[in-house]
Amino acid sequence: MRGVKSLVCDTSLVEPDTGLVIRNYPVKKLTEKSPEEVFWLLLTGELPDEEETKSLQQDIKKRQKVPDYVWKVLNAMPSNSHPMTMFNTLILVLERESQFRKNYTKGMRKEQYWESTLEDSLGIIAKLPSLAAAVYRRRYKKGPRIKPNPKLDWAGNYAYMLGIKDPTGEFANLMRLYMVLHSDHESGNVSAFTTHTVNSALSDIYYSLSAGLNGLAGPLHGLANQECLAWILDSLKKFGGKVPSAEELRKFAWDTLNSGKVIPGYGHAVLRITDPRFDAFLNFGKRVCPEDPIYQMVALVFDIVPGVLREQGKAKDPWPNVDAASGSLLYHFGLKEFDYYTVLFGVSRALGVCSQAIMSRALGLPIVRPKSVTTEWLKKFSTSQPSA
Ligand code: AMX
């Protein structure tokens, strides 16, 4: 169904020549904003003022306590389960808290669905950093859970609870940027569309978000970012840990293509320009870690690979996507567990898909139920068409 116009989504738009635009704001204009401000923007179409931002941050803090039964489930899971399995399970376990389900069972008017969906969304979004950080600490044996610090903002708290050393505060800044850049990408991608489909059955947002993020766990969707960093690290290893010359890298890129592999982090199903989110990460790296060979390698690949892909002439978009840079920055700060990167993506994407669900309930959108046909029907249909 690529390119078939079949959905309405007002939170964001992705056009081939602009990249992500959130409520009329190109994403590059939002890189200095906090995730809370962007969540407000996604929901209302306007950026909040200082007071409104503070009130949302206070509201989130009031909701961040995770009930103990959730930790019992996490501790009962095998410690080598995939981090996305752990994360999505915890979201589902929290479904017990759903106000939507309780109000629906009591009898709620259709016009009130969006309010309960908003309540549930605030409840789950407030808890995601604690859940995601706890998954990290258990899965990678980093020691006991770290409790949220009431003085910190949503993403700052996430950085803090992961337990990554951050003397300069730049890791927390990276988390804020990461959470903004991945927050939304229209509604037709697998995680957004799945969340929407499940929510359209009036399953509450806990069910819906967990389902959507199960889609994000797939290698063709959210798991792709770890492959990009692996390619960068492999390339560096091949050159003995030193950044190669442009010519050496060009040859390495051709070797990758000639062996039948793709160059991870390059190309996009929709975009036909450098993903503005890649630019934002590259600028962050330039400011914070210009000496890091991994950052330098990412910058060199950006100089060389688009030319190689153009010369090969297969990829419709020879430019980098968001995944080409994000992993290298996480790695720089010591977050080196590739399998975990999709969880970060999931925490961020929850902002967008929850906003979309609240909008869908406010608009009273119907259950998703496209019509299917049999193969037999398809054969008859295709043979009955006049040939072109
Ligand atoms: N390296 C080598 N070849 C590439 C390429 C790349 N980075 N990107 C596309 N191509 C090839 C395709 O494999 C395809 O070859 P084929 O005709 O032999 O099958 C041809 O170019 C045409 O593909 P396309 O229409 O340009 O791309 P697509 O819309 O089918 O797929 C994408 C898009 C991202 C899957 C693809 O560009 C790709 O595989 N990129 C590398 C992996 C990657 O970066 N994934 C992250 C995706 C980011 C995200 O959405 N999260």
Closest CA to ligand 1's atom 40 = 267
d(CA 23, CA 351): 14
Confidence class for position 3, pLDDT limits 50, 70, 90: confident
pLDDT for the residue numbered 386: 81
Express as a percent the part of the chain with pLDDT over 90: 95
What atom in ligand 1 is closest to the CA of residue 321? 48
pLDDT for the residue numbered 385: 83
- β-strand partners of 266: 320
pLDDT for the residue numbered 225: 79
pLDDT for the residue numbered 37: 98
d(CA 301, CA 178): 21
Identify the CA nearest to 359 among candidates 189, 199, 212, 216: 199
Give the chain's mean pLDDT. 96
Q: Which residues contact 70 (CB under 8 A, 6 or more apart)?
A: 90, 93, 94, 131
d(CA 136, CA 278): 25
Expressed in angstroms and rounded, the spacing between residue 146 Cα and the centre of ligand 1 is: 40
Expressed in angstroms and rounded, the spacing between residue 318 Cα and the centre of ligand 1 is: 9
Please say if the pLDDT value at position 366 is more than 80: yes
Angle of helix 293-312 relative to helix 246-258, nearest 10 degrees, comes to: 60
**268, 275, 279, 332: which is the annotated catalytic residue?**
268
Please say if the pLDDT value at position 388 is more than 70: no
Q: Which residues contact 150 (CB under 8 A, 6 or more apart)?
A: 61
268 as an active site residue: the answer is yes
Please say if the pLDDT value at position 387 is more than 80: no
What atom in ligand 1 is closest to the CA of residue 257? 2
Q: What is the pLDDT of residues 204-258, one digit of tens each?
A: 999 999 999 999 999 888 887 788 899 999 999 999 999 999 999 999 999 999 9
Helix segments in 63-189, DSSP class H: 68-76, 83-93, 99-106, 113-139, 154-162, 170-181
CB 108 within 8 A of CB 361: no
pLDDT for the residue numbered 277: 97
Expressed in angstroms and rounded, the spacing between residue 268 Cα and the centre of ligand 1 is: 6
Please say if the pLDDT value at position 35 is more than 90: yes
H/E run at residue 370: none
Closest CA to ligand 1's atom 44 = 265
221 as an active site residue: the answer is yes
d(CA 348, CA 269): 21
Cβ < 6 A, ligand 1 pocket: 224, 257, 262-269, 314-317, 321, 323
CB 137 within 8 A of CB 145: yes
pLDDT for the residue numbered 224: 77
Task: Tell me the DSSP string of 228-269.
Answer: HHHHHHHHHHHTTTSPPPHHHHHHHHHHHHHTT---TTB--S
Best of 186, 254, 266 to mutate for ligand 1, by most ligand atoms within 8 A of CB?
266
Q: What is the pLDDT of residues 38-93, one digit of tens each?
A: 999 999 999 999 999 999 999 999 999 999 999 999 999 999 999 999 999 999 99
Q: In Å, what is the CA distance from 217 to each residue of 18, 177, 223, 304? A: 27, 21, 6, 30
Closest CA to ligand 1's atom 36 = 267
What atom in ligand 1 is closest to the CA of residue 266? 7
Q: What is the CA radius of gyration of the chain?
A: 22
Q: In Å, what is the CA distance from 96 to each residue of 99, 290, 356? A: 9, 47, 22
Expressed in angstroms and rounded, the spacing between residue 304 Cα and the centre of ligand 1 is: 17
CB 117 within 8 A of CB 100: yes
Sort residue 163 into left (φ over 0), alpha (ψ -120 to 50) or beta: left
User: Residue 326: how many CB atoms within 10 A of its CB?
Assistant: 29
Express as a percent the part of the chain with pLDDT over 70: 100
Identify the CA nearest to 196 among candidates 343, 354, 24, 330: 354
182 as an active site residue: the answer is no
What atom in ligand 1 is closest to the CA of residue 225? 46
Q: What is the pLDDT of residues 106-148, one digit of tens each?
A: 999 999 999 999 999 999 999 999 999 999 999 999 999 999 9
pLDDT for the residue numbered 227: 84
